[in-house]
Structure 1
Amino acid sequence: MPFKLPFKQVDVFTSEGFKGNPVAVINCLGINESEVTKDQLQAVANWTNLSETTFIFKPSSDQFDYKLRIFTPKNELPFAGHPTIGSCKAFLEFTNQIGKKDVVYQECGVGRVELTIKGKLISFQGEQTIVEDIADDVAKGYAQTLGVTPIETVKLLKVGPNWVVILVDEAQLCYNSNPDFAKISQISNVNDHTGIILGGKKKGTTNEYEMRAFAPVINVDEDPVCGSGALAFIRYLKDAEKIEATSEIKITQGGRLGRNGQISGIVKVHEDGKYTYHVGGDSLTVIEGQILL
């Protein structure tokens, strides 16, 4: 007999419905994770056909508030940004804790993720980003698929997903890019990359950027508003000395897809000299119901 489970679809990185990035969230707190199979969860994610579908389970210990499993239509991810924020919003609504919590701890494939709630803004902290060089021919291949010229060294940022980050001279070049998705997918598949984060600074601003995310290798040609991509992009900007710590970064994304995603980010410096990277935004529930699993 199938389980009848609460379901929400949350629009993330927006305060205006249908202008952000949707995530489907299924509340599995009432069942044991062992009662369902990975194939069952993957089938739901394939059916919703959203960039990500998540399942909230009971955590493995009391150091977490919940355990999150994240699926694209094709595979399971250890972490993803907008599903983390949207699922946190859904968890607070499912458990009637809106306005009652300032911090939530999510268990997922990358370990513990700390989320901070301030009013409508939910932010996640990503401190375990890994930065790696990539081969020149791979970097040039990606740039050619986008028809752009990078202004800084192209880097690989491992933030759960493995994003290749490319910075161009200004926002309009980013916005106007017309990617060759088949070639991006081919290069990403060979190199075990999730895809490309492309960004450019807005003219006349200090810390405002346009960003786009391309991941055709996981069946997401262009992600409308991408939290893990924003995390990778902010870390990249910091390492390239384009932004300073404690400065707020504003990122817009999704215009080419008819969206108006708004992402806020900040780099924090701690007393021990370490940096942490924080990405956040508004979100709202646009669909509620039940799903049979």
Structure 2
Amino acid sequence: MGLTVPFKQVDVFTEVPFKGNPIAVINFLDIDESEVTQEQLQAIAIWTNLSETSFLFKPSDEKYDYKLRIFTSLSELPFAGHPTIGSCKAFLEFTQNTTATSLVQECRAGAIPLTVNEGLISFKAALFDFEGISDEVITGYEQSLGLKFIVAPALLRTGPNWVVALVEDAETCFNANPNFTMLTEQTKQNKHCGVILAGVKKNASIKNSYEMRAFSPLDKVDEDPVCGSGSVALARYLQELYKFEETTKITISQGGRLGRDGHIVASIIKETDGSTSYHVAGHAITVVNGKITL
């Protein structure tokens, strides 16, 4: 094709390079989306060898700031959290926009509002489903993870289909050693993306602090370093479990078992109309600037 476009690799949910979750972001803002094929986008995602690769396009309507398409090495996703924050960071840099405080991302999951405040990027999650799962499926996941859940897990469809489960505390979560062969079979059989495992930090100075891990071996990602959609799923699960009556912040750390140090703030916000919305915030830092040629 002979088309050369800008490329960035952004580390997400960190202010320190190489301690977050990387996303490759390709800038197609200056070309028509019809000029590239699904097969080309998928090939690039396979080549970057990251959990996700995202592509910025011109939006379909002026009410959006940009259109984002997100790919794993296997398929396209309707939405994902860390690609959303990382791609927003890249978009602002590609367009040399240093003053924006609010944007709207267009993606397959719909319109995703974002805010930018002193480098902290936050997105409002799209509406999603909460479902119970059977005792048989719960037992299968407990066996795969080698531990017991303290309450019944649930299925959260936040783009990926995450099973969210709680264990006794942060240490139990951190020390879990899944059998990935069994877990792959479980997720495949149940058509789930994977498992979000979390445990509360019992002696933390900040209330509602959790250690979280995200296992998705079916997508060839045994463990995701820091997971935005998973943090949305965890916040929604905790709201269902504890019925917070006021706006609540969930502070999440993730990635320690992989040598990372990711930090996420998931907010459960009580809106003035009585509804509840879910927001995820984190920092991002660009570590690679370059170009790719198709």
TM-score of the superposed pair, with normalisation by structure 2: 0.97
Task: Report the number of matched residues.
Answer: 292
Report what 1:34 is aligned to: 34
Report what 1:8 is aligned to: 8
Report what 1:173 is aligned to: 172
Cα gap change, 1:278/1:195 in structure 2, threshold over 3 Å: closer, same or farther?
Answer: same
Instruction: Read off the aligned partner of 2:14 and give its amino acid letter.
Output: T
- Structure 2 distance, partners of 1:67, 1:21, is 21
- Structure 2 distance, partners of 1:63, 1:139, is 43
1:275 corresponds to 2:276 = yes
Deviations 1:196-230 (A, max 9, x none): 00000012232100000000111111000000000
Alignment of 1:82-93 (within 5 A): 82-93=82-93
Instruction: Read off the aligned partner of 1:168 and give its amino acid letter.
Output: V
1:233 corresponds to 2:234 = yes
- Structure 2 distance, partners of 1:127, 1:24, is 23
1:20 corresponds to 2:20 = yes
- Structure 2 distance, partners of 1:187, 1:34, is 38
Cα gap change, 1:140/1:49 in structure 2, threshold over 3 Å: closer, same or farther?
Answer: same
Alignment of 1:60-99 (within 5 A): 60-98=60-98
- Structure 2 distance, partners of 1:23, 1:243, is 33
Instruction: Read off the aligned partner of 2:17 and give its amino acid letter.
Output: G
Report what 2:221 is aligned to: 220
Instruction: Read off the aligned partner of 2:151 and give its amino acid letter.
Output: E
Runs of 4+ in 1 over 6 A off after TM superposition: none
Deviation (angstroms), 1:127: 4.3
Deviation (angstroms), 1:244: 5.3
Deviation (angstroms), 1:245: 3.4
- Structure 2 distance, partners of 1:199, 1:242, is 18
Deviation (angstroms), 1:5: 0.4
> For 1:69, what is the secondary structure of its paired residue?
strand
Report what 2:288 is aligned to: 287
Deviations 1:13-57 (A, max 9, x none): 001010000000000011111111111101111011000000000
Report what 2:57 is aligned to: 57
Deviation (angstroms), 1:147: 1.1
- Structure 2 distance, partners of 1:192, 1:115, is 30
Cα gap change, 1:242/1:173 in structure 2, threshold over 3 Å: closer, same or farther?
Answer: farther
- Structure 2 distance, partners of 1:72, 1:29, is 20
Report what 1:135 is aligned to: 134
- Structure 2 distance, partners of 1:244, 1:43, is 46
CA contact (8 A) 2:109 2:126 kept: no
Instruction: Indicate the RMSD between aligned Cα atoms, in angstroms.
Output: 1.0
CA contact (8 A) 1:170 1:201 kept: yes
Instruction: Read off the aligned partner of 1:40 and give its amino acid letter.
Output: Q
- Structure 2 distance, partners of 1:249, 1:137, is 30
Deviation (angstroms), 1:242: 7.1
> For 1:47, what is the secondary structure of its paired residue?
helix
> For 1:152, what is the secondary structure of its paired residue?
coil
CA contact (8 A) 1:75 1:218 kept: no
Deviation (angstroms), 1:2: 2.0
Structure 1, unaligned runs of 5 or more: none
CA contact (8 A) 1:245 1:266 kept: no
Deviations 1:249-272 (A, max 9, x none): 110000000000000111111121
Instruction: Read off the aligned partner of 1:134 and give its amino acid letter.
Output: I
Report what 1:112 is aligned to: 111
Moved more, 84-93 or 185-194: 185-194
- Structure 2 distance, partners of 1:73, 1:231, is 22
Deviations 1:132-171 (A, max 9, x none): 0111111110111111111111100001110000001100
> For 2:242, what is the secondary structure of its paired residue?
coil
Deviation (angstroms), 1:248: 1.8
TM-score of the superposed pair, with normalisation by structure 1: 0.97
Instruction: Read off the aligned partner of 2:143 and give its amino acid letter.
Output: Q
Instruction: Read off the aligned partner of 2:113 and give its amino acid letter.
Output: E
> For 2:26, what is the secondary structure of its paired residue?
strand
